[in-house]
Amino acid sequence: MTAKTSHRTWAEPYKIKMVELLHMTTRVEREKAIRDAGYNTFLLRSRDVYIDLLTDSGTSAMSDRQWAGLMRGDEAYAGSESFYRLEEVVRQYYGYRHLLPTHQGRGAEHIMSQLLIKPGDFIPGNMYFTTTRLHQELAGGKFVDVIIDEAHDTQSSHPFKGNVDLAKLDELVQEVGADCVPYISLEGNVNMAGGQPFSMENLKALHSYCREKGILIMLDATRTIENAFFIREREAAYAGKSVKSILREICDLTDGCTMSAKKDALTNIGGFFCCNDDELFQRAKNLAVIYEGLHTYGGLAGRDMEAMAQGLHEAVMEEHQAARIGQVRYLGNKLADAGIPIGLPIGSHAVFIDAKRFLPHVEQDSYPAQALAAEFYVESGVRAMERGNVSAGRDPETGNNRRPALELVRLTLPRRVYTQAHMDVVAECVVNVFQRRKQIQGLKMTFEPEYLRFFQARFEPLAKNN
């Protein structure tokens, strides 16, 4: 791709019109804040955070056009014009026939799981996502990981660590029968694997396999525009194509999707479910009125749908994706150059720190990634998120911690929010903590909620030499 103007490769294609002031804290204040939060960064108050890299979900900066869209929102209960505008944009970029807005991604996951899964079913997928798997389990299904082995190894530089291992998938289908596999849950830029893409070649092979077996492919489209960017960059046959056309080709090979619009789509709230099948859509609309709202708003205000429609136009822009992914790489490369163990290749939405290699002396049931995220906060007011043993939860059959191969701290970059100087502060923070890593102890869990424990669990430090 040739740059339209001469600028540095990933410089931002926008300028700042309004700023939000940040609150600075002292180390003593942060030590108290993290103690009060039970060493869980989800329980910190945002006013106590300097650089918030907890998540890229709902944290994007909206553009002037999105803010203008808020004024245009049609707040009719039924048949809102904003819905029809959103429907047109989703059809244009994603290509599915039917759109059902939902309050956010998990609302769509709930509806889809209830519609497609019957008790005793198996749902293969390219690695679990927390809310996705929980909804599959609540519907009576069992998730089975069929991602390629390289995805579980932070040091593998495989360009498409989000690929499905078709041999693993076939083994499952042979064992349980295709009738017990309603669909494969295929995520773009797999979050828990470090923001790693699948290739179009892999998706085409998956499509042929699933057509032959009568298994649907349901896409988690949350970060699939970013996946399309990686396909263009890494798959020779797509080098000259646009992100838009690659996104469309991905969707055309799938049967429907769930979407958290709080990521790719640059909005602060929202999601949707899409499908091509008329009968499935009828049933989805009917469930929506119980759990979300009428099918032309699905838990969203008209203005939210306007912001989403405009956000999607901006999200598929080449220069937006170049800046987005460029900024993540800037931070990742700085950390890698300083010898910090990070997940490779650097993903699209976050830099993942390998807590097992950062804190080899902390055993996994003492939650090294949770402890490390708390240390980053105390060091510099940088808020990160654990993506390891706490997030993975317990095996429902044994009740034991799942102890996933990946024990990661995620430094997640909100879209269009922070500057290069902020990234330098984050890198300094991580390097400072790395220098004193031997003094860092693990944690013990003192409160564990029943579902999605990482959001609300509380911890305290293990006594020294424990």
Q: Which position among 57, 59, 136, 267 is part of the footprint of ligand PLI (CB under 6 A)?
A: 57
Residue placing its CB nearer to ligand PLI in the complex, 38 or 188: 188
Give the nearest distance from C-beta 410 to ligand PLI in angstroms: 8
5 is a catalytic site residue: no
Q: Which of 220, 255, 304, 354 is catalytic?
A: 220
Do the bridges between strand 216-220 and strand 183-187 make them parallel or antiparallel, or are there none, so unpaired?
parallel
What number of chain residues touch ligand PLI (CB under 6 A)?
15
Residue 192 makes CB contacts below 8 A (sequence gap 6+) with: 127, 128, 129, 130, 387, 391, 406
Query: Across-strand partners of 256?
Result: 218, 275
263 is a catalytic site residue: yes
132 makes contact with ligand PLI (CB under 6 A): yes
Q: Which long-range contacts (CB under 8 A, 24 or more apart) does 356-361 make?
A: 356/407, 357/154, 358/409, 358/434, 358/437, 359/437, 359/440, 359/442, 361/438
**Using CB under 6 A, which of the segments 4-12, 124-132, 244-252, 272-280 binds ligand PLI?**
124-132
Q: Which residue is nearest to ligand PLI (CB)?
A: 105
Cβ atoms of residues 306 and 85 within 8 Å: yes
d(C-alpha 22, C-alpha 24), whole Å: 6
104 makes contact with ligand PLI (CB under 6 A): yes
d(C-alpha 43, C-alpha 49), whole Å: 11
Per-residue interface string for the shown chain with ligand PLI, residues 232-261, x marking contact by CB under 6 A = ----------------------------x-
161 to 35, 209, 219: CA distances (angstroms): 37, 19, 16
Q: Which of 106, 223, 329, 387 is catalytic?
A: 387
Q: Which position among 60, 82, 113, 131 is part of the footprint of ligand PLI (CB under 6 A)?
A: 131
Q: Which position among 69, 73, 101, 105 is part of the footprint of ligand PLI (CB under 6 A)?
A: 105
Give the nearest distance from C-beta 220 to ligand PLI in angstroms: 5
Q: How many Cα atoms sit within 13 Å of 376 on the Cβ side?
A: 31
Apex CA 94: angle with CA 345 and CA 294, to 5°? Answer: 120
Per-residue interface string for the shown chain with ligand PLI, residues 339-378, x marking contact by CB under 6 A = ----------------------------------------
Q: Which long-range contacts (CB under 8 A, 24 or more apart) does 18-24 make?
A: 22/50, 22/51, 23/47, 23/48, 23/49, 23/50, 24/50, 24/381
224 makes contact with ligand PLI (CB under 6 A): no
Give the nearest distance from C-beta 138 to ligand PLI in angstroms: 14
What residues are annotated to the active site? 77, 129-130, 220, 263, 387, 454
Binding site for ligand PLI (CB under 6 A): 55, 57, 104-106, 129, 131-132, 187, 191, 220, 222, 260, 262, 271
